[in-house]
Amino acid sequence: MSVFEKKPVWPAPRHAFEREITVRFSHCDPAGIVFFPQYFVMLNQLVEDWFTEELGIRYAELLGPRRIGLPTVSLSSDFTAPSRMGDRVALGLSVLRIGGGSLTLELGCRCDDEPRMRARQVLVTTSLETMRAVALPDDVRAAFERFEQAQRERA
């Protein structure tokens, strides 16, 4: 039995914010499966969409005119099954913790009910002028808290 034939050891969660995408040729390596760094690109796009579409804070405006950065300071991941070109997968995120100047997210990818990968990511708000950590802006904190409350109500 290959590593790809093993059953996952954890269920594929449904996240509070999800988007379906089609795995494209550009996501895949010569073996025809998603090249693992591509998951991080897809998940970063998901975070950008979450800010703009769900939180109502344009991600491009946050980084551009407002000069607030959200670098990743911690990222861990597990991969349980391959995704192949043409697969329709759901990428999702849930809020785990809102800190004074940070946010911890649980992210994942599933195909139907099969988990493909999951990650835990910590983002820290920074000034893009000074490159130093700053407190969460009030509107960003309020948007996170509204989302977290709705997430709890859905659970």
Nearest Cα neighbor of 77 from 102, 100, 44 is 44
Mean pLDDT value of segment 44-50: 98
Rounded CA separation 113/46 (Å):
19
What pLDDT was estimated at residue 155?
Answer: 79
- Residue partners of 9: CB distance under 8 A and separation at least 6: 80
Instruction: State yes or no: pLDDT of 8 exceeds 60.
Output: no
- Band of residue 12 on the pLDDT scale cut at 50, 70, 90: confident
Give the end-to-end CA distance of the chain in Å, rounded to a whole number: 36
Average pLDDT, the chain: 93
